[in-house]
Amino acid sequence: MNNDIFKIAFRFVGLLVIQVFVMDQINFLGFINPMIYILFIFLYPFNNNRLLFLILAFLLGLVMDTFQDTGGAHAAACVTLTIVRPYLLKLVYGESYVMKNIKVLTTGIDRILLFLCLCVIIHHLVFYSMIIFNMSQILELLQLTLSVGLATITVSLTILLLIKPRRS
């Protein structure tokens, strides 16, 4: 149990440091900065205290907002992703995912990719609707979601493959 708390705290800080120091400086094609800090929400254990999870996600988003001066866009996207995560899990791993007591990292690569794509799409859609905040620019919203989302998925998948435990 203690081990779990330590792991979660380490991920929280570690992902934020990587995000602020490395990912926000990439500026690929001038505007593409992958948002890998959402891996925190992605990797959070299945059997969790939902209230604590929501508050942690909110704090994570708020820290990102202070660094990027985005008001509350990251926070809004993070809590939305957190609240819909159980439904995504049901969709990807079937109804009985809670019983199986598995971890996201130990599942097959196809499941991980599918789950990751769904998470990224939802997070980025909410995030960029907050950033753009204008219904008339919906095309730009979709364009940003797609391009930045692809970058996020690529970088996140690389990180996941690196930390994924080898099957013995």
Partner 1 sequence: MQHIINFLIKYRNLLLYLFLFSIAVVFTIQSHEYHRTTFIHSTGNVTGEILESRKNIYEYFDLDQQNKYLSEENAKLRMRLLALGDTLLGSESILIFSDSLPYSVVPARVIKNDYDKLDNFITLDIGSNQNVEPDMGVITSNGIVGIIDVISKDYARVISVLNSQISLNAQIKGTSTIGSLTWDGADPYKMSLIDVPRLAQVKKGDTIITGQQSTTFPPDIEIGVVERAILVDNGSRYEIEVRLINDMTDLGYVYVVKNRDTEAIKIIDTLQTNE
The residues that touch partner 1, with contacts defined as CB under 8 A, are 20-21, 25, 27, 30-31, 33, 50-51, 54-55, 58, 61-62, 65-73, 75-76, 79-80, 82-83, 130-134, 137, 140
Of the pair 44, 114, the CB lying nearest partner 1 is at 44
CB of 69 to partner 1, least distance (A): 4
For residue 32, the cross-strand partners are: 28
d(C-alpha 31, C-alpha 40), whole Å: 23
Of the pair 84, 114, the CB lying nearest partner 1 is at 84
| Helical H segments across 22-72, by residue range | 39-43, 50-68
CB of 106 to partner 1, least distance (A): 26
The helix or strand, by DSSP H or E, that contains position 129, with its residue range, turns out to be helix 109-132
Closest CA to 11 of 153, 148, 160, 157: 160
For residue 28, the cross-strand partners are: 32
Of the pair 51, 135, the CB lying nearest partner 1 is at 51
Of the pair 23, 43, the CB lying nearest partner 1 is at 23
CB of 57 to partner 1, least distance (A): 8
CB of 165 to partner 1, least distance (A): 30
Describe the chain by its helix, strand, coil percentages, rounded to 5: 80, 0, 20
